[in-house]
């Protein structure tokens, strides 16, 4: 029997199957506001049968946007348009989640299809932040090294974003601590060379994320899940490792319910060995060694691959990104392939079944 279409429970939230729409930045907002594009884009995948739609990286502060097109949740004014999206997602029997984020030193850039380079002062660039003044590369802005007050302000920004997420109807929050963005740059010894209590040792480098988790948990309902995405390796000698990810997951377990296991993004020197299922071993290792549920993501394309990862207990949730961009109804077709009855929405089902 297929395992991909069994329910999964995280605290009080029940997800109807193990398929998650991975958070993918669309760079289509203005001043952080969700619009009709986001409603269509996210609603279509919920109608397509996934169990969980995770909304793209949503900035907790204006300075935390990758680009001027990023979604935001730094203002109460952002709640209403996000509420329309969560209501639509729920209407299809799907769980709405949101990834909250700060881009750190990778902020203040053009959208990718305009080159993705750093904005200039004439293009209304804004101050970017990092653990130190080390930029991502020579083509990126030099960040402001965060003071203790900057760090505390950002911790507060994450907690306030969680409160807004609840008001907007989200049932899961995922903290973005991966892909070279702000939290990840504090975790990795490559980017974090601070000499205060937020740098140096493993305990100090993980302090920022631990404080964010604690702050969110103090505001986010106890019955609702809190997840985090990690880059489980930097793919660079001397960087963050899968073993570090396991150690951190064990520490975070009282407040974090699941680790979304991605990788890379910290440094242009990375050498990523891309192949089908190339990140799935990280999910398997963290799940087994930290004894915590995990998400597998990265070049998972077939129903059989996804089903086997769950059946062999290498991951609890399968996140699909580009695959769902190409095939919004992948989950329903996967059900058919695996011998399950596809649960089409009524508007389509009466024609297609």
Q: Which residues are catalytic?
A: 181
Largest distance between two CA atoms of the chain: 64
Looking from the CA of 239 toward its CB, the CA atoms found within 13 Å total 22
Cα separation, 282 vs 122, in Å, equals 42
Counting Cβ atoms within 10 Å, is residue 124 exposed (0-12), middle (13-18) or buried (19+)?
exposed
Tokens of 352: 């297609």
DSSP H or E stretch at residue 235: none
DSSP H or E stretch at residue 110: none
DSSP H or E stretch at residue 33: none
The residue whose two tokens read 């199957």 is: 17
Cα separation, 90 vs 204, in Å, equals 40
Cα separation, 273 vs 262, in Å, equals 13
Looking from the CA of 107 toward its CB, the CA atoms found within 13 Å total 30
Looking from the CA of 250 toward its CB, the CA atoms found within 13 Å total 10
Distances in Å between the Cα of 140 and the Cα atoms of 57, 68, 214 are: 20, 16, 31
């Amino acid at each position: 029997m297929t395992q991909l279409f069994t329910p999964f429970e995280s605290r009080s939230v029940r997800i109807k199957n193990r398929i998650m729409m991975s958070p993918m930045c669309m760079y289509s907002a203005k001043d952080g506001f969700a619009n009709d594009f986001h409603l269509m884009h996210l609603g279509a995948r919920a109608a397509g049968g996934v169990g969980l739609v995770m909304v793209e990286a949503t900035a907790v502060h204006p300075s935390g946007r990758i680009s001027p097109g990023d979604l935001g949740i730094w203002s109460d004014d952002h709640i209403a348009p996000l509420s329309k999206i969560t209501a639509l997602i729920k209407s299809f029997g799907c769980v709405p989640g949101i990834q909250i984020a700060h881009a750190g030193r990778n902020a203040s850039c053009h959208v990718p299809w305009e080159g993705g380079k750093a904005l200039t002062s004439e293009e209304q660039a804004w101050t970017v932040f990092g653990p130190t003044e080390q930029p991502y590369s020579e083509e990126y802005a030099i960040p402001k090294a965060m003071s203790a007050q900057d760090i505390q302000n950002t911790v507060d920004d994450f907690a306030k974003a969680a409160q807004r997420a609840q008001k907007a109807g989200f049932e899961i929050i995922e903290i973005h601590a991966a892909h070279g963005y702000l939290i990840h740059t504090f975790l990795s010894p490559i980017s974090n060379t601070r000499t205060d209590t937020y740098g140096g040792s493993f305990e100090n480098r993980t302090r920022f994320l631990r404080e964010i988790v604690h702050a969110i948990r103090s505001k986010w309902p106890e019955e609702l899940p809190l997840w985090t995405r990690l880059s489980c390796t930097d793919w660079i000698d001397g960087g963050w490792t899968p073993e570090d990810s396991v150690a951190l997951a064990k520490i975070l377990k009282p407040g974090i319910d699941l680790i979304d296991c991605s990788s890379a993004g910290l440094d242009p020197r990375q050498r990523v060995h891309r192949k089908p299922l190339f990140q799935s071993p990280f999910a398997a290792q963290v799940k087994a060694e930290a004894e915590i549920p995990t998400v597998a993501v990265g070049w998972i394309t077939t129903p059989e691959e996804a089903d086997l990862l769950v059946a062999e207990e290498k991951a609890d949730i399968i996140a699909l990104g580009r695959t769902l961009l190409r095939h919004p109804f992948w989950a329903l077709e996967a059900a058919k392939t695996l011998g399950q009855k596809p649960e089409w929405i009524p508007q389509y089902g009466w024609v297609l079944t």
